Amino acid sequence: MQFGQFDEFNREYVITRPDTPAPWCNYLGSVDYGAIISNNATGYSFVKSGASGRITRFRLNSRSNDQPGRYIYIRDNSDGDYWSGSWQPVCKPLDLYKSECRHGTAYTIIKSQYRDIETNTSYFVPLNKFYEVWGLRIKNSGASARTLSVFGMVEFTNHDHYENDTVNLQYSQFISKTYFKGNHILQVINENGSEAAADVDGGCDAMGDPSFRFFGVAGAEVAAFDGERDVFIGNYRNYGNPAAVEAGGCSNTPAYNGNSCGALQIDITLNPGEEKEMIFLLGAGDGEIAREIINTYDTALSNNTDLAGQQLEELKHLWHSRLENLQIDTPDDKFDNMVNVWNAYQCFITFLWSRAASFQYCGLRNGLGYRDTVQDIQGIIHLDYRLAKERLCLMLSAQISNGGGLPLVKFDHVPGKIETPDESEYARKTGQSFYRADDALWLFPTVMTYIKESGDWNFIDEVIPYADRGQTSVYNHLKQAIQFNLDRQGPHGFPAGLFADWNDCLRLGTKGESMFVAFQLYHALSIFRDFASRKGYGSDVEWADKHMERLSKAIDDFAWDGTRYVRGFTEAGYTIGSKDNEEASLWLNPQTWAVISGAAGGERAGLVLEQVYRKLNTKYGAMLFYPAFKKFGLPVARMVLFNEGTKENAGIFSQPQGWLILAETIVGNGNRAYEYFNEINPAAMNEQAEIRVLEPYVHGQATEGIDTLNHGRSHVHWLTGTASTVMVAAVNGILGLQPDYDGININPCIPAAWKYFSMTKHFRGKLLNIKVDNSAGVEKGVKHLIINGKKLVGCYAAFDGLSDKNDILVVMG
C-alpha cells in the first residue's frame, strides 16, 4: 500500500493518504527549540531537552496513534459540522475529506479540503528563534459565503519535566495556571516561586522565577478562549470531538489546577473565493515576549508583508544549501532521494538530536552516548565538515585520560572536571558505572574522514583536554584510545568486551573477549599507523605494526572458524558465534568488520561475505546473527531477553547493514552492495508501507527478522546509527567518493547495470561536476579520469590539479 510519494524537486515527501500505518514524522527547529510533528500534526515541543524542557504534552504509545498535537479545528456555524486542518483528530471520512502533508527540511505543510473550505498550515520554527509558527491560510472555494469558527489548540505540560508532568500529578497539577491576555493565552508554572529558588535554602523561599509558555494568534481577533483542557474537550470526550467546538464556542475558562491548554477561537466569514491568513504562535516566554512576537507578525500581516513566508524560505535555503554539497543523479530515483535529501537530512537530525526526542524516545537520555555520537558525526562530514569538527572536538574532550570514552556525555559537559566510570560519583550522576570496550575506537574512522574531507591535517596536532584531567594533541588522544584496549585484554590477546561493545547486550567483562572490538582495534591501528607515518614518527609506526601483526596472528589462530570469524569468547572460555553452536552460530558484524578493518582480504573476505549472503540475508536485510537465542541461557548474551527475530536477538538490526554494504564495495561486489542497499532503502518500500510501517523516507533502528510474525516491519524511527552507516556506505562505498589527504579518489562500486550517472560535489571549496561512464558494464574499476580535458590514469585526482570548477569524467572498465 502506498500513502505518499517523494517530490524530488521540492525535496519533500508528500503524504496524500493520512491514515498512514504509523505516525509519519518530521523534525522542526533546533537544539534550542525543538519540535516533532507527524503527518497528522501530532507531536510535541520542547526547549533544549525533550525530557526537562517539555512545553507541550504528548502520550507515547497511546492509541489513536500518539496524541495530542498542534490542532486546528474548523466549525461551520451554519450547521455545526466541524473538522480539523489535519485529518486527525476529527478524522472525517476520507471520501469527503482530502488531505496532503508535505514534510520538508525542517518544516511541514498540512493542507485540507472539506466542503469547499481549503486550509493550508505551515508548521516551522523560524531560524534562530525559540518559538514555532503555525501559519494558517483558509479559503472558501465554494459559491456561497461561509461563517466559520477556527480554533487553534495546544495542550501544555504542567511541568517542564516530562516525568513530573506525566506521573507526579499530586504536585504538577497544582502549580500551573493560565491567563487570557487578549491575543494569547499565557500559562504560568510556579507563579509563587520556582522550585530552583525553593531548593536554595532548603524549602520555602517564595521568590524565584516562574516559567511561562504562550499560545497566541496574529492576524485575527480572538472571539473566545479556553485555558483549561478539560473544559475545552469536556468529560467523556476526546480530541476528536471537543465540547467547545461542538457547542459552537469556547467558554472563556482559564486553568487553575487541572490541565492547562491554549485554545483560541477566531470567528470569520469567508466570501466565495476569499482567503484569510492567521498565524498561531507557540513558545516558552512571558507575556512581554509573547506580545512582542505576536506584534511582529501582526504588523507584517497588516503591511502585507509575508514574514512567515520569508522565514520559511530562509529555512529552506539553509537546509538546501547543506544538501547541495553533494547531489547525485543515478538511474535509480529511490537511491537518489535518499542520498540527496532524506538520508542526508536524517543524518543531520540524528547528529543534532542524538537519541533524545522522537515518538519512541521521550528525551530522558539527557546526554550524548559516546559511540552513537562519534558515529553520527560521520554521516554529515561530506556535507558540513565544520559542524562535524565542533562535535568531534567535544567528543575528544569527553575521552578519559586512560583512553576510554565517557559512556554518557552530559549536555553541559565541562572537560577537565568530569568524574570517570571508576568513580562512584559518575555512576550516581549518570547511572553508568562501566566502560564500553568500543567507545573511543569509533574516533579513528571519524577523525580520518574529517581530515580527508576538510584537508585539515593540522587537526592532528590540535590540543584538546581530556574529560577528567590533562590535555594533549588529537594524535595522542588516538594513541591513548588504542592503549585503553591494549591494557584490557583477554587470554587470547584480544580486547576485553567489558560492559558492552557495539552490541549493548553483550556483557563480556574484563576477561571475555570481543572480536568486533578486535577488528575495530586492528582498523584503529592501521589508521593510526598512517597518521604516524605522515608525521614521521617511526617508533609509533613500528609500535602499530607490531600490534597489528600480533593481532592478525591471534585472529588466524583463535578467531577463524573455518568458514567464519567468531564473535568472541566468554570469561568461562565459551566461543560465541562458532559454527558448532546450536544458536547464534553465525554473526554478521565480525564478518563485515574483518573486511572493513583490512584484517581479512582476498579469498577469506569473499568467503565470509558469501556466508552472510547465504545464511543471514533476507529480503529486508541481513540478520544480526542466526539462529536466534531461545533455549540457550548464555548469561553474557542478554539479547535472549528480546523475542526471537527482534532487535539484537536475530533481528535485522539496520545499522550493521551499512557496514555490510560498505564491505561488499571494498571487495568489489557492486551488484550485491546495491542489493543490500535496496533491501533496507526506505524509499524502496514506499509501495509496501503496510509491511514496513515506518516512514518510507527514514531509516529505522531495526526490522523484524524471519522468526517473528511481522517479518519486514521496522521500528524506532529517525534517531538511529543506521542513518550514518548507510550514508557512508552509499557515498564512500557505492558512489566511491573517497577524499584523501591531498586529493580525492573517485572509485565507484555500482551495479553493473548502471551505465551512466553523475554527481556534483563541493570539495574544500571546489566544485566537482562528475560524470561516470560505465558503458563497459563493470561493478568496480576505473580506467582513467578526464579532468577538465586532461587524462589521468587511475581514479585519483590531486587537489593541486583542480580548478575552482571542474568537469570530471570517470571512465570505468
Residues marked active site are found at 504
Of 85-93, 238-246, 364-372, 480-488, the segment contacting ligand GLC by CB under 6 A is 364-372
Nearer to ligand GLC, 398 or 782 (CB): 398
Using CB under 6 A, which of the segments 502-510, 532-540, 562-570, 600-608 binds ligand GLC?
A: 502-510
Quick one: which segment of 382-390, 500-508, 530-538, 607-615 binds ligand GLC (CB under 6 A)?
A: 500-508
* Cα–Cα distance, 682 to 687 (Å, whole number): 10
Which residue's Cβ has the minimum distance to ligand GLC? 504
Residue for cell digits 544480526? 624
φ, ψ at 526 (rounded to 5°): -70, -35
Q: In which element (H, E) is residue 676 found?
A: helix 670-680
When binding is defined by CB under 6 A, the residue of 194, 430, 701, 703 that contacts ligand GLC is 701
Residue 688's closest CA among 332, 330, 331, 334? 334
Using CB under 6 A as the binding rule, whether residue 646 contacts ligand GLC is answered as no
Question: In the complex, what is the shortest distance from the CB of residue 723 to ligand GLC, in angstroms, rounded to a whole number?
Answer: 11
Distance CA 212, CA 130 (A): 13
Report, in Å, the least distance between residue 436 CB and ligand GLC.
9
Q: How far apart are CA 139 and CA 598, in angstroms?
A: 62
Question: Which parts of 203-242 interact with ligand GLC (CB under 6 A)?
Answer: none
Judged by beta carbon, residue 369 or residue 455, the one nearer ligand GLC is: 369
Helix H or strand E encompassing 659: helix 654-667
Q: Which residue has the cell 568530569?
A: 418
Shortest CB 805 distance to ligand GLC, Å: 41
Residue 529, phi then psi, degrees to nearest 5? -60, -40
How many residues line the site for ligand GLC (CB under 6 A)? 11
The answer to whether the CB of 132 falls within 8 A of the CB of 293 is no
Identify which of 715, 807, 805 has the alpha carbon closest to the alpha carbon of residue 770: 807
Q: Is 361 an interacting residue with respect to ligand GLC (CB under 6 A)?
A: no
Is residue 590 within the footprint of ligand GLC (CB under 6 A)?
A: no
Stretch that binds ligand GLC, among 366-374, 440-448, 574-582, 681-689 (CB under 6 A): 366-374
Q: How far is the CB of 720 from ligand GLC (least distance, A)?
A: 6
Told to check if 705 binds ligand GLC by CB under 6 A, we report no
> With CB under 6 A as the contact rule, which of the stretches 368-376, 470-478, 612-620, 673-681 interacts with ligand GLC?
368-376
**Interaction of residue 504 with ligand GLC, rule CB under 6 A:** yes
Q: Closest distance between ligand GLC and the C-beta of residue 673, in Å?
A: 22
DSSP-assigned letter for residue 629: P
Q: Are 3 and 20 in contact (CB under 8 A)?
A: yes
Shortest separation between residue 127's beta carbon and ligand GLC, angstroms = 30
> Based on CB atoms, which residue is closest to ligand GLC, 216 or 656?
656
* Nearest residue (CB) to ligand GLC, 227 versus 421: 421
Residue 503 near ligand GLC by CB under 6 A: yes
Cell of 315: 529555512
Cα–Cα nearest to 435, from 374, 391, 520, 496 = 496
372 lies in the binding site for ligand GLC (CB under 6 A): yes
- Going 530 to 534 to 536 to 537, the CA torsion angle's sign is negative
Q: Interface with ligand GLC includes 42 (CB under 6 A)?
A: no
Pick from 454, 473, 275, 285: nearest CA to 381: 454
* Residue 501 beta carbon to ligand GLC: minimum distance, rounded to whole angstroms: 8
The cell for 261 is 491548554
- Span of 147-155, 271-279, 365-373, 771-779 interacting with ligand GLC by CB under 6 A: 365-373
Beta 131-140 vs 117-124: how paired, if at all?
A: antiparallel
Under the binding rule (CB under 6 A), the answer on residue 718 touching ligand GLC is no
| Residue among 376 and 779 whose Cβ is closer to ligand GLC | 376
Site string for ligand GLC, 140-159 (x = CB under 6 A): --------------------
Rule CB under 6 A: is residue 502 a binding residue for ligand GLC?
Answer: yes
Torsion angle of C-alpha atoms 124, 127, 132, 134, degrees rounded to 10: -40
Query: Which residues have CB under 8 Å from 164's CB, separation 6+?
Result: 158, 171, 172
Q: Of 52-60, 241-249, 497-505, 609-617, which part binds ligand GLC (CB under 6 A)?
A: 497-505
In the bound complex, what is the minimum distance in angstroms from residue 647's beta carbon to ligand GLC?
8
604 binds ligand GLC (CB under 6 A): no
Answer for the pair 437, 488: CB distance below 8 angstroms, yes or no: yes
Residue whose C-alpha is closest to residue 4's, from 678, 680, 689, 692: 689
Q: What is the 3-state secondary structure (H, E, C) of 232-248?
A: HHCCCCCCCCCHHHHHC
Residue of the chain from 216, 497, 721, 748 that contacts ligand GLC (CB under 6 A): 721
Nearest residue (CB) to ligand GLC, 504 versus 807:
504
Binding mask 455-494 for ligand GLC (x = CB under 6 A): ----------------------------------------
Our finding on whether 583 is near ligand GLC (CB under 6 A) is no
Residue 717 in contact with ligand GLC, rule: CB under 6 A: no
When the beta carbons of 215 and 519 are compared against ligand GLC, the nearer one is 519
- The answer to the question of residue 371 lying near ligand GLC (CB under 6 A) is yes
> According to the binding rule CB under 6 A, does residue 369 interact with ligand GLC?
yes
Residue 596, number of CB atoms within 10 A of its CB: 22
Structure-block grid coordinates of residue 677: 542497499
* 648 binds ligand GLC, rule: CB under 6 A: yes
Using CA atoms, how far apart are residues 238 and 240, in angstroms rounded to an integer?
5
Nearer to ligand GLC, 558 or 625 (CB): 625
Residue nearer to ligand GLC on the CB measure, 371 or 452: 371
Place of cell 536524517: 346
Is residue 498 a contact partner of residue 570, using CB atoms and an 8 Å limit?
Answer: no
Provide the residue type at 685 as one letter. Answer: M
List the alpha helices (DSSP H) in 2-83: none
Cα angle, residue 548 at apex, residues 542 and 554 outer, rounded to 5°: 140
Strands 25-29 and 714-717: unpaired
List residues binding ligand GLC (CB under 6 A). Answer: 355, 369, 371-372, 502-504, 648, 701, 720-721
